[in-house]
Amino acid sequence: MAKHIQSNAADFGKLSEFVKPYEAVGRTESAALLIWFLETIFRLDETDAQDAVCDRKHDVGIDAIAVRDDENEVVLFQAKRKQKLPATLGDVDLKTFVGSLQQFQTAAMVNKSHLVDYQ
């Protein structure tokens, strides 16, 4: 049985108001939403939230990376922001994201991946 989450227009509008200050020239609307989320919900400071975002073309579904050194943890984010209601998301982006998680399974895999450059 398929389950759907639906947003209502009022909530959608409120979210857009919250995210508006995070919109900037050259920044996608999804990145603005993600920075808002990283600051407001995930509790990163402004600089760390902006630095975490790597939402670009060919980003293999990873839109932000936050490293929590104290917890020995790497947290990966994917964000999609639709402009109109009703809107649906397919599963291609999610499958790409899940496939990208493979390179974060162990410290050795992270160290040898193209995502980390120690030189």
- pLDDT number for residue 101: 81
Distance between CA atoms of residues 78 and 97, nearest Å: 7
Looking at 1-5, 49-53, 56-60, 74-78, which range is the least confident one?
1-5
pLDDT tens-place string over residues 67-97 = 998 998 889 898 877 766 666 666 777 787 7
**Is 52 within 8 Å of 66 (Cβ atoms)?**
yes
The stretch 105-109 carries a mean pLDDT of 81
Which structure tokens are listed for 19? 């995210």
**Of 50, 76, 47, the residue nearest 64 (C-alpha):** 76
**Of 71, 73, 75, 6, the residue nearest 34 (C-alpha):** 75
pLDDT tens-place string over residues 12-47 = 788 888 888 998 888 888 899 999 999 999 999 999
Distance between CA atoms of residues 54 and 31, nearest Å: 8
